[in-house]
Amino acid sequence: MSFCFEVLKTDPTGARCGRLRTPHGVVETPVFLPVGTAATVKGLRQEALEELGASLILANTYHLYLRPGHERVRGLGGLHRFMSWRGAILTDSGGYQVFSLADLRKVTDEGVRFRSHLDGSEHLLTPEKAVEIQLALGSDISMALDECIRTPAPRAAAESAVKRTTGWARRSQNYFQECARRNGEPAQVQFGIVQGATFADLRRVSTRQLLDIGFPGYAIGGLAVGEPHAMTCEMTGEVTALLPQDRPRYLMGVGRPEQLADYAALGVDLMDCVLPTRAARHACLYTSEGRLLIKNARYADDQRPVDGHCSCSVCARYSRAYLRHLFAAGELLAAVLATHHNVHFYLDLMRQIRETIGFGKLASFSSEMHMRYAEGPA
RNA sequence: GGACGGGUGGGUGAGUGGUUAAAACCAGCAGACUGUAAAUCUGCCGCUCCUUGCGGGCUACGGAGGUUCGAAUCCUCCCCCGUCCA
């Protein structure tokens, strides 16, 4: 079996350190997945991701289906080979695009009809299609198609999303297994996704329904899409409390630096977020002192590194003044250096969280993070 | 010397009698960003006062006068700049 997940260490909070074996390497959990939607973590070469120690990255079914096309990627030897990434890849199913491209799609029980944001063409993404695309891409972990809705949402909308997501999860698994019977066991596992918006009982219902179907890993979706952090935590806790200890849990789309430890404390093993990469491109840098908006005039003559306590190769070599200049001049290198630093920051933060787990200090670690990020940078 | 064209807020540049402190873009300043339609988006960007309001006052479209209830816009003179002709 090329997949296996084992819990190595647990914390009184509920946090755990684990090891996820994939066909493309071992992933130490809790782990943060840099987001590489279009088969690239924007601004970073794969060499840089290796240097940073990324073990698992996220790519997107919908976007890669539209361009360059999953069959093309299959023909080119699969996503790993196509993008020359030796580490593991998790593909999101396109469920988030149901949310983010709300103006361009129509959801029915059959699936989601999208009008492409690229050329306006129409595409029907069904649970089966999402499985097919992800198998063609050859990701290590695929996600069942889900319906992600904005929060806060009316209860009726949340109920409907849960019902649909469960139905789609069942179809996803059936089709996944059918493909396995037809074509042989894929080097891929499929996770189901819990929905339920901000309704604790719906979250529990959704979780139990997915447990009935049975997945090798479970994701919590539809959070951090508008609700306060405390609510995100509450809903996450409702779900992880019901999930089996021996399966990985993936909280989708989170989070801010000061929130990561909270999620780990709730027993989350995987998290991903565009924040470190997007914020970097927008000149927001994360440091041990808090957020640093590098475009601010106050850094124009600042010879210090972005973060004096950071061990990344950007901080080892370049000054705030230089970074600020690159942003002011609109230079591409600004995005490259800033992204490198921010991803390093996130991955290093996860390392610290993993080291903290097992010693009962995660709660104080978390509150310290919240304090640092409540204040501005030094 | 002559003939045209032109001088607008930090820059480029709209505006040819009144909702014009003056479009738009750039620069500048500040902010946002959570399974990426995001190298994007938002706000501010003459000075000043306060009871912070689609508020008041002042200054402003090369300069000085003038016409008009009202001028960046019309007239006169002057000063600059560009092109062309001598």
Give the bases of strand B that a protein CB approaches within 7 Å.
Answer: 27-41
The nucleotide minimizing the C1' distance to residue A281's CA is B39
| Rounded (to 5) percent helix, strand, coil in chain A | 45, 20, 35
Separation in Å: B76 C1' and A146 CA = 78
* DSSP per residue, A326-369: HHHTT-HHHHHHHHHHHHHHHHHHHHHHHHHTTTT-HHHHHHHH
Longest dimension (CA), chain A: 64
Q: CA A107 to CA A313: how far, in whole Å?
A: 45
Euclidean distance between the first and final Cα of chain A, in Å? 49
Contact A67, A121 (CB under 8 A): no
What tokens appear for A171 in the block?
């179809």
Q: CA A75 to CA A79: how far, in whole Å?
A: 10
Separation in Å: B83 C1' and A330 CA = 37
List the beta bridge partners of residue A191.
A143
The DSSP H or E segment spanning A90 is strand A88-92
Separation in Å: B2 C1' and A191 CA = 86
CA A250 to chain centre: 8
Q: CA A333 to CA A220: how far, in whole Å?
A: 35
Catalytic residue among A92, A146, A307, A348: A92
The nucleotide minimizing the C1' distance to residue A252's CA is B35
Q: Which residues contact A34 (CB under 8 A, 6 or more apart)?
A: A41, A44, A49, A54, A57, A58, A272, A276, A277, A343, A346, A347
Catalytic residue among A140, A146, A272, A307: A272
Q: pTM here?
A: 0.94
The nucleotide minimizing the C1' distance to residue A221's CA is B35
Per-residue model confidence as pLDDT tens for chain A (378 residues)? 689 999 999 998 899 999 999 999 999 999 999 999 999 999 999 999 999 999 999 999 999 999 999 999 999 999 999 999 999 999 999 999 999 999 999 999 999 999 999 999 999 999 999 999 999 999 999 999 999 999 889 999 999 999 999 999 999 999 999 999 999 999 999 999 999 999 999 999 999 999 999 999 999 999 999 999 999 999 999 999 999 999 999 999 999 999 999 999 999 999 999 999 999 999 999 999 999 999 999 999 999 999 999 999 999 999 999 999 999 999 999 999 999 999 999 999 999 999 999 998 999 999 999 998 875 433
Q: Is A272 a catalytic residue?
A: yes
Separation in Å: B45 C1' and A296 CA = 16
Q: Of A344, A272, A221, whose CA–CA distance to A56 is shortest? A: A272
Q: Is A92 a catalytic residue?
A: yes
The nucleotide minimizing the C1' distance to residue A275's CA is B34
Q: CA A377 to CA A286: how far, in whole Å?
A: 9
Q: CA A273 to CA A275: how far, in whole Å?
A: 5
